[in-house]
Amino acid sequence: MGKPLIYEIMEKPATSCMIGIFSAIWFYIQKKGIGYSHVGLSYETAVEGHWWRIITSAFSHISVLHLVFNMSALWSLGVVEQLGHIGLGVKYYLHYSLVLVVLSGLLVLGMYHFLILRFKIEYFRRVTAVGYSCVVFGWMTILAVKQPSSKLDLFGFLSLPISFAPFESLIFTSIIVPQASFLGHLSGIIVGYAIGWGLIHGMNNYWAFSMLLWIVIIFVLSLKKSGAFDINFLEIEPVTDPSLPSVRFLASGNGRTLHMSTLPIAGAEMV
C-alpha cells in the first residue's frame, strides 16, 4: 500500500505547486477559449519578436490528454526533489527546470532555423508548439544519467526503466500522437544530457535569480515590442497641451502656496 497522497505532496512541494499552476492555466485557457496561435511558439512568431512565447508555450496545454500525460510524468519525475543526497533536491530541481524551459525553447528554434535555411523545409516555419513536454523529457534524461536504476511511472500503471524512458517516450508519443513536437521533445533530451553530464552546471540561487530577472525583462519588452498586449505603464508621454490646467508652486514668506490656473477648453466633453 502506497503512502497517503498528502505525504507525497509534502515530499514533492515544487512538483505539486507546478502541477497546480499548470492545471489552473489549463482551466483558464479553456474558459477563455485561448488556442495555439495565442500562446504557442513557432519560428515565424519568434522572427516577429514574440520571444515571450518561449515561456507561455511551455506553461500552456490546450488538450486535456496532453496535460494529463505531462503532469503524470512530472509527478513521477518529482522524485528528483528527494534525491538531495546525490546532489539533486528541491533547489536543483527548480534551478534546472528554469534552464530547461529557456534552453530547450531556444534550441528548438535553432533547429527550425537550420531546417528552413539549409533544407528549405518551410513547414517548420509555421509549426506551433505548446506544452511542458520539453522539460519533462529533459528531466527524464537527467534522471537517466544520475539515477539509471529508477523507474518512470505513467498513469499509475505503466512503469518504464528510466534509462530508456527518454527515447522510448519520444518514439511512443511520435507514433501515438503524430502532431506531437518531435523536435521539441528532442531538444529537451539534448539539454537534459548537457545538464546530466555536467556540460551545463554551476546554477545556484544567485544565477537562478539573475536568469529569472532577465527572463522577466525580455518577456515584458518583447510583449511591448510585438504589440501582442498593450502595456501602457511602460511608456509615459508628456502632456504639452496649453489648454489644460497648469499647476505651479509660488514661494511665499510662510512657505509654498499651490496655485492652479485654467483656461477654457473649446468643445470639451465628459467621457
Structural domains in the chain plus CATH codes: 3-224 (1.20.1540.10)
- Indicate left, alpha or beta for 49 from its phi (over 0: left) and psi (-120 to 50: alpha): left
Contacts 24+ apart (CB under 8 A), 177-181: 180/133, 181/108, 181/127, 181/129, 181/131, 181/133, 181/134
Is the pLDDT at 261 greater than 60? The verdict is no
Kindly state the average pLDDT of the residues 127-155.
90
Instruction: In whole angstroms, give the CA distance from residue 73 to residue 173.
Output: 13
Q: What does pLDDT average to over the chain? A: 85
Read off the pLDDT band of 258 (50, 70, 90): very low
Indicate which residue of 50, 66, 95, 185 is catalytic. Answer: 185
Give ∠ CA 181-186-191 in degrees, rounded to 5. Answer: 130
- pLDDT (0 to 100) of residue 37: 92
- The pLDDT tens digits of the residues spanning 202-243 come to 999 999 999 999 999 999 999 998 877 655 544 434 445 555
- The pLDDT tens digits of the residues spanning 167-206 come to 988 998 888 888 889 999 999 999 999 999 999 999 999 9
Kindly compute the dihedral angle of the four CA atoms of residues 34, 35, 38, 40, in this order, to the nearest 10 degrees: 130
- pLDDT (0 to 100) of residue 266: 38
Read off the pLDDT band of 155 (50, 70, 90): low
Confidence (pTM):
0.82
Active site annotation includes 66: no
Is the pLDDT at 114 greater than 90? The verdict is yes
Is the pLDDT at 106 greater than 70? The verdict is yes
Residue in 155, 98, 105 with CA at minimum distance from that of residue 129: 105
Instruction: In whole angstroms, give the CA distance from residue 188 to residue 185.
Output: 5
Instruction: In whole angstroms, give the CA distance from residue 161 to residue 169.
Output: 11
Active site annotation includes 133: yes
- pLDDT (0 to 100) of residue 232: 54
Indicate which residue of 60, 97, 104, 133 is catalytic. Answer: 133
User: What single-letter DSSP state applies at residue 75?
Assistant: H
